[in-house]
């Protein structure tokens, strides 16, 4: 399985990317209130080998953002990722993405916190 398939396989829902605003709002409501006050962290997944992008660019910014918002690792509060990949928008719980990126990086959650929070 490719890194792209592994990462996007974490999605709990998906929608056409041209319906992003409606889909993000609907996703918050469909989660039985779990995401009623949720924050969507949005980014576009590049084509090709995504692992370097996710580990070198996304992970440091995401950890810093989560910690600043009070969405502490490993649970990551009420934050989900809205990942644009091609014509599809994938919704991934931040906690699941952080867990996968932690595994790929070889860094524990505590190491991620120490290294990337401001």
pTM: 0.92
103 is in which domain, residue-wise? 3-116
Mean pLDDT of the residues in the chain: 92
Query: What's the pLDDT score for residue 117?
Result: 76
pLDDT, tens digit, 9 for 90 and up, residues 42-81:
999 999 999 999 999 999 999 999 999 899 999 998 899 9
94 close to 10: Cβ distance less than 8 angstroms: no
Q: Measured on CA atoms in the order 71, 14, 9, 30, is the torsion positive or negative?
A: positive
109 close to 73: Cβ distance less than 8 angstroms: yes
User: Count of domains in the chain?
Assistant: 1
Query: What's the pLDDT score for residue 35?
Result: 53
Query: What's the pLDDT score for residue 81?
Result: 96
56 close to 94: Cβ distance less than 8 angstroms: no
């Amino acid at each position: 399985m490719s890194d792209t398939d592994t990462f996007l396989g974490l999605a709990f829902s998906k929608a056409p990317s041209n319906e992003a605003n409606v889909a993000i709002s609907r996703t918050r409501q469909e989660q039985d209130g779990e995401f009623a006050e949720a924050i969507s962290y949005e980014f576009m997944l590049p084509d090709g080998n995504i692992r370097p992008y996710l580990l070198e660019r996304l992970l440091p910014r995401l950890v810093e953002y989560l910690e600043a918002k009070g969405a502490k690792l490993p649970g990551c509060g009420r934050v989900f990722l809205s990942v644009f990949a091609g014509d599809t928008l994938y919704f991934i719980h931040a906690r699941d993405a952080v867990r996968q990126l932690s595994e790929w990086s070889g860094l524990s959650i505590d190491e991620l916190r120490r290294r990337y929070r401001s």
